[in-house]
Structure 1
Amino acid sequence: MEKKLPFVRAADVEGEFRTPPRTSKLLLAPKFGWVKNVSMGMNITEVGSMIPDHVHEESEEVLFLISGRARIVIE
């Protein structure tokens, strides 16, 4: 049986407002049942805001900057 891959439109996903000011959207994750080993999300970050320092113990993180400017710190 062929497994149908999900098609997710970010515009259709309700965001969660967080502090510092940004909206986070989880687009793809194991808890949705479509995938086992990948998560994908997006953040719409307010000008002058940030995403707090954090660690993903179980995975790497890939970042794409769609527009604007950012400083990314990797340790």
Structure 2
Amino acid sequence: MPRYEYRCRACGTTFELNRPMAESSAPASCPDGHEDTVKLLSTVAVTGAAAATPPSSGGGGCCGGGCCG
């Protein structure tokens, strides 16, 4: 189940809720009971070996393989 982050406009508290995607836009009360909250935009970090590997410089592709010439 996705986790969404919210901020309370009344007290400034930031909190998270696990809820179905279908309920992502539904109102959320802060832990202190305030109703005036906003959903924050989440950032996604992409990590891993595939993201860190530079492209190879030899062969492959049109210009790398010598077909454009």
TM-score surpassing 0.5? no
The TM-score, its normalising length taken from structure 1, stands at: 0.26
Structure number having the greater helix percentage: 2
Larger radius of gyration: 2
Q: TM-score, normalization: structure 2?
A: 0.27
Choose between structure 1 and 2 for higher RCO, CA contacts under 8 A separated by at least 6 residues.
2
